[in-house]
Amino acid sequence: MPDTDDPAICPGCGQPLPPQVRADAVYCSDRCRMRHRRSGVRLTEPRGPTLCSNCLKPIRSYGRVHRAYCSAGCRQAAYRARKQAAN
């Protein structure tokens, strides 16, 4: 559990957020936000490839079918993980 008194760390530059940013701010500045979004791996870009929900590899699209996973194995793994989380 993170201590709420600790300043959040900017994912863009790794520095603690300055106290004057908004309470829900994630980045210390617009520059960090834009830079991190461009190089970010976890964030899906609107025009980038769809990432597998299980292993986060880019999914090759087959026609117009929307796929959430890169393979049947990943789909099953995610399904099993969901079932385990429900227990």
Query: Which positions touch Zn ion (CB under 5 A)?
Result: 10, 12-13, 28, 32, 52, 54-55, 70, 74
Cα–Cα dist 3/44, whole Å: 29
- Min dist CB 17 to Zn ion, Å, is 8
Residues 8, 15 contacting (CB under 8 angstroms): no
- Min dist CB 24 to Zn ion, Å, is 15
CB nearer Zn ion, residue 54 or residue 81: 54
44: which DSSP letter? Answer: P
CB nearer Zn ion, residue 13 or residue 25: 13
For the chain, how long is the longest CA-to-CA vector? 49
